[in-house]
Structure 1
Amino acid sequence: MSIEKNQQSLEKMRMVVQKAKEAQLIYQSFSQEAVDAIVKSAADAAFAKALELGVMAVEETGMGVAEHKKIKNEVGSKAVYESIKDEKTVGIIKEDRVNKVVEVADPFGVIAGIIPTTNPTSTAIFKALISLKTRNALVVSPHRRAVNCTIAALRICLEAAVKAGAPEGIIGWIEKTSLAATEELMMHRDVQLILATGGGGLVRAAYSSGKPAYGVGPGNVPVYIHRSAKVAKTVKMIVDSKTFDNGTICATEQAIVVDRNIKEMTIRELKNNGAYFLNEEEKRKMEKLISPTPGKLNPEIVGQSAVKIASLAGISVPRDTRLLIVEETKIGKDIPFSIEKLSPIFPLYTANSYEEAKDLCLRILNLGGRGHSLSLHTNEDNVAKEFAQTMPVSRILVNTLSSIGAVGGTTALMPSLTLGCGSYGGNITSDNITARHLLNVKKMAYGIKEISIPKQSLSSNQTLNSQNENGQQIDEIVKSVVEKIDPKQEIDPKIIAELVSEVIKKYQMNV
């Protein structure tokens, strides 16, 4: 981008933020009823355009499947709306009458939203809805390869929100996106929070901006097929999940770990569901395509079909191929099949024991998926619970499609297109991000306990000083009394007694 265009992008971003700030100051005075009507209007409008936006996203980015994008847009609109519609986000949101604690919701202000190229419309809708629900303004930086479809999704939400009474500018975006504009947006003095969904570089930039930020981590998700699993049903779910939108959801399974005693059955079912197993020569070709530089994923394969990826590698496969699979034994940055691939490509690892299966899953996560998700298929509840307690992930998806289950599509998890990875993945939360994460919650607490505060005791220095002062006062008293006695006269015992009594009284008064 030229210097002139870059400057134009920066100026436009500043104008959008200023307008968003002004709109948010108006919007923060809206009632819960008014806010809820606005959110419903935006959600309904986005849901109605789910397929249209899905088609736009595929055409612009060249990634994924339009019909699958439609489902993601429906999750980002209707499912998200249903999950937050009854939440209180305005004024007093909770009152504990017994303990006399009142919680009051307050918006952050202006939120900066970073949108990924893999889920450009669904993530935009999702962030718009949770921002509107919490009386925040949202300013979005679209991915450079998904500008038009992202803005289209945001515009649909904005127009519907304004029609329902929201102030103009409550949702904004950078039309001519640039790295400089995105970085300055995150550091802008009027931005109070960053919602960063995207590549590792942008997430790190968000965390280093000095602003509060919700980010995500990579999802190198292992899927373990335990010997107790129903293999045919399990394999169908895994294939459907892995091929959903050509693997662009970060919670999609990335590596299969299978117990040896059900391996052959699993391979047979994988082939029955459209998997193509690469031979050694084809494996070498595919490795070069997946990761031309060790540890780095080739972006050209992200979100592409198995047939197209095979063609890019110079491999001929049947036209109905859904997955490309190799048997693998190694894990590492220099092992292309073991990294996160965001495409319908699988390594298949064989576990000779339950302990080895756990070790393989842990090594895959440690390579680049800590904190995100793990998929597990088993009919033994104790196995699921052990994995839940021992694996360093925020979500364990059991007997379901990991890709859709993690975002709340097939599970009771909170519907979300931004999945926190906790401290395992360098994030502040392990939650599925939703409206409640965009609120400042003030707490008003009444006194309910009586407490007696003891008087402060004198320190040793204070005691010593006090004793010295009292000693000086006593000397002065004795001196003044003695001076009154005539040295020529014999000292009367009564006089001595009166003298002692007077000194004691004055001493006691000074203690």
Structure 2
Amino acid sequence: MEHSTAPSSAPSPITELVARARAAQRICATWSQAQADTAVTAAGWAIIEPARNRELAELAVADTGMGCVQDKVLKNHRKTFGLLRDLHGARSVGVIGQDPARGIVEIARPVGVVCAITPSTNPGATPANKIINALKGRNAVVVAPSPKGWSTAARLIGFIHAQFDRIGAPRDLVQLLPGPIDKQATGELMRLCDLVVATGSQANVRAAYASGTPAFGVGAGNVAGIVDETADVHAAAERIVRSKTFDNATSCSSENSLVIVDAVRAPMLAALAERGAVMLTAAQKATLQALMWPGGKLSAAVIGQSARSIAERAAALDDAQCAGWLALAATGPRILMVAEDGAGHGHPFSGEKLSPVLAIHGAQNFAAAAAMVERIYAHEGAGHSVGLHSALPERALTLGLTLPVARVIVDQAHSIATGGSFDNGLPFSLSMGCGTWGKNSFSDNLNYRHYLNITRVSRPIPEQMPSADEIFGDFFARHGAQ
């Protein structure tokens, strides 16, 4: 009796996709610095070219229903152009550092195939940022976007492929996880790649950490800002409104809470009101809470929406106050403010809102303001960053020494400054590490060096062994040699 041999199972589409990425990466692993930089520039031009940029921004808003087209155009341009500035002249191929005194030579090597998890809030800028950083290190990259952001990522990668054709680079260096996107396919991709860089929900970040593949993930947003008694309230209000309204507050770096020292509370609120921020009544706050957290979870109905749209939706929810909400909406509010006196699960406005809704906390003095921010971050947002508007430089150092934050953003529009800006020294990035406070393995702005393996050549140097007295002398003098 003959026995048929069962055919071996065919490789999955994800396995084949990664295999193509590995084949392409073996080609670019031989590139010179100039070749890598040409690929970086090509990918940057794919999104920065004005007509393509606008098409991506319009597609992002149409498909996700979040954000503002013009702000996404600006974000796509500034974040990409800023990244290209950071990478211009940076060494990422071959020998990138030498320290003769220590006998050390550093050599940059690719990590391989990168899995880039990207969010719906930035479906163009974030994939572009990760693709460009990966290419700088001569890596291949496979983008795993959110379901809502898939079409924007697909269009972006189509633009990149067209630029690759111009320079003779293999298209398979940059690929997209096929739709429809689901957890199973994303999980398989993460397991098969060499590095995962995850931006988006904490569920995505935890999945990346649990994938068995080395991963960089980011912590939760929920930025708080402090306005102390020395601040220029008009300048502070201008920065805060600019930050909070940008792209309808879809950024994890947008202020969610503002802690104002009592001495400047009235003038600060007046300055915010002059710029379109409206303080809600207690009754309106209750309605807004019901709209934003039905069942205790932040509703997609408000994420990335304008303040006017949120007010209109609140009107539909509240018959008793419908006319008041519609009248408010008709004024074109830019920010909806609510007074808050606590933090934690019983105070949902103390958490991240991803919308132009701002919680206002009071504090007797700067120390109390810092303590309030610490309470907010104990609930959500530890590790990310804090904003400070103050005329006293030492207060920024105090926050940096005491609060669980990786960044202290001083006198700047927070959501624009945190991920790098042309008027500060932070690296341009859309992925901010939050350190161990945010359960991350890094506390830097994710940048091209995170996409590199570094090989170190060590040569012998003259022995540099200290004496016992150099190490223990002061200790023994003060405490004895027991």
TM-score, normalised to structure 2's length?
0.89
Task: Read off the aligned partner of 2:427 and give its amino acid letter.
Answer: M
For 1:44, what is the secondary structure of its paired residue? helix
2:273 equivalent to 1:261: no
Contact 1:158–1:170, Cα closer than 8 Å, also in 2 = no
CA distance in 2, matches of 1:301, 1:108: 39
* Partner residue of 1:138 out of 135, 138, 141: 141
2:400 equivalent to 1:388: yes
2:101 equivalent to 1:98: yes
Q: What is the Cα deviation at residue 420 of structure 1? A: 0.5
* Partner residue of 1:71 out of 74, 90, 100: 74
2:414 equivalent to 1:424: no
* Partner residue of 1:186 out of 190, 194, 197: 190
Q: Which residue of 2 aligns with 1:5?
A: none
CA distance in 1, matches of 2:346, 2:185: 34
Q: What is the Cα deviation at residue 84 of structure 1? A: 0.9
Q: Which residue of 2 aligns with 1:21?
A: 22
CA distance in 2, matches of 1:264, 1:100: 61
CA distance in 2, matches of 1:78, 1:30: 23
Contact 2:433–2:445, Cα closer than 8 Å, also in 1 = yes
Q: What is the Cα deviation at residue 300 of structure 1? A: 1.7
Give per-residue Cα distances to partners, 1:254-284, cap 9 Å, x unaligned. Answer: 0010011111101111111111211111111
Deviates more, 1:145-154 or 1:250-259: 145-154
The 5-angstrom pairing of residues 279-298 of structure 1 reads 279-294=281-296, 296-298=297-299
2:53 equivalent to 1:50: yes
Task: Read off the aligned partner of 2:53 and give its amino acid letter.
Answer: A
Q: Which residue of 1 aligns with 2:225?
A: 223
Q: What is the Cα deviation at residue 11 of structure 1? A: 3.4
Task: Read off the aligned partner of 1:26 and give its amino acid letter.
Answer: I
Q: What is the Cα deviation at residue 450 of structure 1? A: 6.0
Identity %: 35
Q: Which residue of 2 aligns with 1:506?
A: none
CA distance in 2, matches of 1:359, 1:30: 52
Contact 2:433–2:440, Cα closer than 8 Å, also in 1 = yes
Q: Which residue of 1 aligns with 2:468?
A: none
2:318 equivalent to 1:305: no
* Partner residue of 1:122 out of 125, 128, 136: 125
For 2:343, what is the secondary structure of its paired residue? coil
Deviates more, 1:125-134 or 1:72-81: 72-81
CA distance in 2, matches of 1:352, 1:39: 50
For 1:88, what is the secondary structure of its paired residue? coil
The 5-angstrom pairing of residues 239-388 of structure 1 reads 239-294=241-296, 296-314=297-315, 315-316=325-326, 317=328, 318-388=330-400
Q: What is the Cα deviation at residue 87 of structure 1? A: 1.1
CA distance in 2, matches of 1:178, 1:407: 29
CA distance in 2, matches of 1:170, 1:325: 46
Write out the 4+ residue segments of structure 1 that deviate beyond 3 Å after TM superposition: 449-452
Contact 2:386–2:405, Cα closer than 8 Å, also in 1 = yes
C-alpha spacing 1:162/1:366, structure 2 compared with 1 (3 Å): farther
For 1:283, what is the secondary structure of its paired residue? helix
Q: What is the Cα deviation at residue 451 of structure 1? A: 10
The 5-angstrom pairing of residues 1-20 of structure 1 reads 11-20=12-21
Contact 2:48–2:81, Cα closer than 8 Å, also in 1 = yes
CA distance in 1, matches of 2:387, 2:340: 19
Give per-residue Cα distances to partners, 1:134-174, cap 9 Å, x unaligned. Answer: 00000011110111111111222233134223223000011
Instruction: Give RMSD over aligned pairs.
Output: 1.5
Q: What is the Cα deviation at residue 92 of structure 1? A: 1.1
CA distance in 1, matches of 2:155, 2:407: 32
Q: Which residue of 1 aligns with 2:151?
A: 148
Deviates more, 1:156-165 or 1:314-323: 156-165
Q: Which residue of 1 aligns with 2:205?
A: 203
Contact 2:244–2:255, Cα closer than 8 Å, also in 1 = yes
Q: What is the Cα deviation at residue 45 of structure 1? A: 2.4
C-alpha spacing 1:100/1:268, structure 2 compared with 1 (3 Å): same
2:88 equivalent to 1:85: yes
Q: What is the Cα deviation at residue 85 of structure 1? A: 1.9
The 5-angstrom pairing of residues 465-484 of structure 1 reads none
Task: Read off the aligned partner of 2:438 and give its amino acid letter.
Answer: G
Contact 1:125–1:157, Cα closer than 8 Å, also in 2 = no
C-alpha spacing 1:444/1:289, structure 2 compared with 1 (3 Å): same
For 1:362, what is the secondary structure of its paired residue? helix
Residues paired across the two proteins, number? 440
CA distance in 2, matches of 1:303, 1:428: 28
Q: What is the Cα deviation at residue 232 of structure 1? A: 0.8
CA distance in 2, matches of 1:137, 1:436: 15
Task: Read off the aligned partner of 1:434 and give its amino acid letter.
Answer: N
The 5-angstrom pairing of residues 166-177 of structure 1 reads 166-176=169-179, 177=181
Q: What is the Cα deviation at residue 14 of structure 1? A: 2.4
Q: What is the Cα deviation at residue 122 of structure 1? A: 0.1
Contact 1:142–1:151, Cα closer than 8 Å, also in 2 = no
CA distance in 1, matches of 2:249, 2:341: 22
Give per-residue Cα distances to partners, 1:176-195, cap 9 Å, x unaligned. Answer: 1221100111112xx11001
Structure ID, larger Rg: 1
For 2:385, what is the secondary structure of its paired residue? strand
CA distance in 2, matches of 1:108, 1:162: 24
CA distance in 2, matches of 1:412, 1:265: 31
Deviates more, 1:156-165 or 1:220-229: 156-165
CA distance in 2, matches of 1:75, 1:15: 35
Q: What is the Cα deviation at residue 88 of structure 1? A: 0.8
Task: Read off the aligned partner of 2:69 and give its amino acid letter.
Answer: A
For 2:148, what is the secondary structure of its paired residue? coil
Contact 2:153–2:176, Cα closer than 8 Å, also in 1 = no
Q: Which residue of 2 aligns with 1:213?
A: 215
Q: What is the Cα deviation at residue 333 of structure 1? A: 1.4
For 1:105, what is the secondary structure of its paired residue? strand
Q: Which residue of 1 aligns with 2:8?
A: none
2:116 equivalent to 1:113: yes
Q: What is the Cα deviation at residue 51 of structure 1? A: 2.1
TM-score, normalised to structure 1's length?
0.84
2:444 equivalent to 1:441: no
Contact 1:194–1:213, Cα closer than 8 Å, also in 2 = yes
For 2:295, what is the secondary structure of its paired residue? coil
